[in-house]
Amino acid sequence: MGAWGTGLYSGDFAMDLRGTIRAVARLPFSADRLVDVLCDAEPGAARSSVDSDHTVFWLVVADQFAKRGIDSPRVRETALSIIDEGRDRAAVAALGMREPDLRRRDRMLAELRIRLVSAPPPKPRTTLKNPQPYLFEIGDGYAFPTSGGGSINPYFASLEQTPSWRHDGWAVMVIIARGRAFDFLAWYQFLTIDCAAPEKPTAIPMDDSQLWVLRQPGTVTPLHIKRLQLERLGSVSVDSDKLQKTFPYMRPGIVQAVIDLSICDGMKVGPKIPARFIAPPGQTAGPRTRYPTILGLGTILAG
């Protein structure tokens, strides 16, 4: 459950789920389908009654749907049964919440119950009318500045506001795949070089000895592209068949698009990412080596 307290949004999971609901609510789907999308994004919490976040999932979804005017009897009835049967109280008590805090939690749940029972009628919501435009082309390569191997945090308005930022290197990323979740929400997958270089590159590294690391898919906005200070280096021709054979376990970034996970989460390179976590070329990632790699881009290029 992560860090938590007596409030509905005191926990890390609840805060993250609220952001996910914000992203999913933009989809022009019925309430029932929105619920299915959320359940697929958090299958453990949504479907397993023994999951520590199970009650929080349904309470947060119910609260957010009520606030957004999204009418789902399934969500509302599930949340009300969780409150009326004392299941949330039992869940947080099992996690160690003390009696004074349990009483505060009870008051919060009582207020939530009133809101759910007296929720206003459904209201129109702002949804995506068209698919999100693609901001990257497959094969495009970009240089970006790093600090200790970490990229700029695009959630800060300026570098002056970014804690402990000191530009000391450069990294390179190459877009290898892209798609849209539910035909609307754009995602991208990319490779990065394994370790930051002291000098800014002028072209995509094509050396067969260069180690490239596969990163998880993510989303991006024009504002984040600007704040990340991405500089286009050129483009290579990625062969989709070779890519699939090289990384047969690659999956579309549907979950990442739904939860709006930024590409910046995968733009850390060495020394920020220790070398011991990077799998040798040809080996799949495991518990100790989380990042699969290839040696040289030629493995996945056309020709």
Hey, what are 193's tokens? 């070089």
Within 8 A by CB and 6+ apart from 23, the residues are 185, 257, 258, 259, 260
Whole-model pTM: value is 0.81
d(CA 271, CA 196): 7
Measuring CA to CA, which residue among 259, 22, 262 is closest to residue 155?
Answer: 262
Mean pLDDT, all residues of the chain: 93
- Name the β-bridge partners of 303: none
Say if residue 133's pLDDT is above 70: yes
* Average pLDDT over every residue of 116-143: 93
Burial class (CB in 10 A: 0-12, 13-18, 19+), 140: buried
Helix (H, G, I), strand (E, B) or coil at 252: coil
Confidence at residue 214, expressed as pLDDT on a 0 to 100 scale: 95
Query: What is the reported pLDDT for 2?
Result: 39
Type of residue numbered 230:
L
Please say if the pLDDT value at position 282 is more than 90. Answer: no
- Reply yes or no on whether the pLDDT at 287 is more than 70: no
Retrieve residue 128's tokens: 């995506």
Mean pLDDT on 196-222: 96
**Alpha-carbon gap, residue 181 to 73, rounded angstroms:** 25
Report percent pLDDT > 90 for the chain.
82
Residue 264 CA, chain-centre distance (Å), reads 10
